[in-house]
Amino acid sequence: MNEGNLTIKIDLPDDISRILEERWGDLPRHVLETLAIQGYRDGTLSTHQVQHMLGLKSRFAVDAFMKEHGVSLPYDAADLERDAERSLLAAGRIQPTDVLKVAHHGSRTSTSASFVAAVRPSLAVISSGAGNRYGHPSPAVVARLLEAGAKVHRTDVHGGVIISTDGERLEIRRYAPMGFSNSR
């Protein structure tokens, strides 16, 4: 085996090779992509490894590739960081909303000023543990939300919250899960 590279040779009869190439195009690329998808699905390959393996430009290109191939991604909108926010803003995919679940526990790597301006939430919910070692939420993020006119609900200060709607009105209820202490 060569240092840093693995070459796989598969001998296929010409007629089968032609059928597969007619169906899938570049057969070696298709095999490589199939390996990347399966490796990602079963946890063998990380996002970074798939990015390197397929020569994709970013984590977001890997995400788009995986979604295109029906792979469930292990995160949700709460994982948005500045780069993803910028991409969504540039694509016109951000819409105003009444309630914003603030990404990354209110860390400084997300909830940019331009994102907050586009979303224009009346309520922002930040889920973070009291006294966490990361210092979440970021004071700058909280200030940004307050300056934009949002009421900020922090689980580290106010406890848990249940938000429901009938399509017209929001109902916001506080709750304290079993074992939760809001005392300081």
DSSP element (H, E) containing 136: none
Same domain, 107 and 24: no
- In a domain? residue 180: no
Classify 32 in phi/psi space as left (phi over 0), alpha (psi -120 to 50) or beta.
alpha
Q: Name the pairing type of β-strands 170-175 and 160-165.
A: antiparallel
Same domain, 63 and 91: no
- In a domain? residue 7: no
Same domain, 64 and 90: no
Domains in the chain, number? 2
Same domain, 104 and 166: yes
Determine the Cα–Cα distance for residues 88 and 86; give it in Å rounded to an integer: 5
What pLDDT is attached to residue 2?
47
Chunk the chain into consecutive blocks of 10 residues (it has 184) and report each block's average pLDDT, rounded to whole numbers.
69 88 86 91 86 88 86 61 78 84 86 91 89 89 96 89 80 65 46
Q: Letter for the amino acid at 139?
A: P
What pLDDT is attached to residue 33?
92
Last residue of a domain, one of 68, 86, 105: 68
3-state secondary structure of 98: coil
Same domain, 82 and 124: yes
DSSP element (H, E) containing 161: strand 160-165
- In a domain? residue 2: no
- In a domain? residue 42: yes
Same domain, 91 and 118: yes
- In a domain? residue 9: no
**What's the pTM value of the predicted model, to 2 decimals?**
0.55
DSSP element (H, E) containing 46: none
- In a domain? residue 3: no
Same domain, 49 and 120: no
Same domain, 54 and 86: no
Q: Name the pairing type of β-strands 151-154 and 160-165.
A: unpaired
- In a domain? residue 167: yes
Same domain, 49 and 104: no
- H helices of the chain, in order, are 14-24, 27-41, 47-54, 59-68, 82-90, 113-119, 139-147, 155-158
Domain around 151: 77-175
Please, what is the Cα angle at 47 between 7 and 95, to 5 degrees? 140
Same domain, 130 and 170: yes
Determine the Cα–Cα distance for residues 184 and 179; give it in Å rounded to an integer: 14
Same domain, 62 and 129: no
Same domain, 94 and 45: no
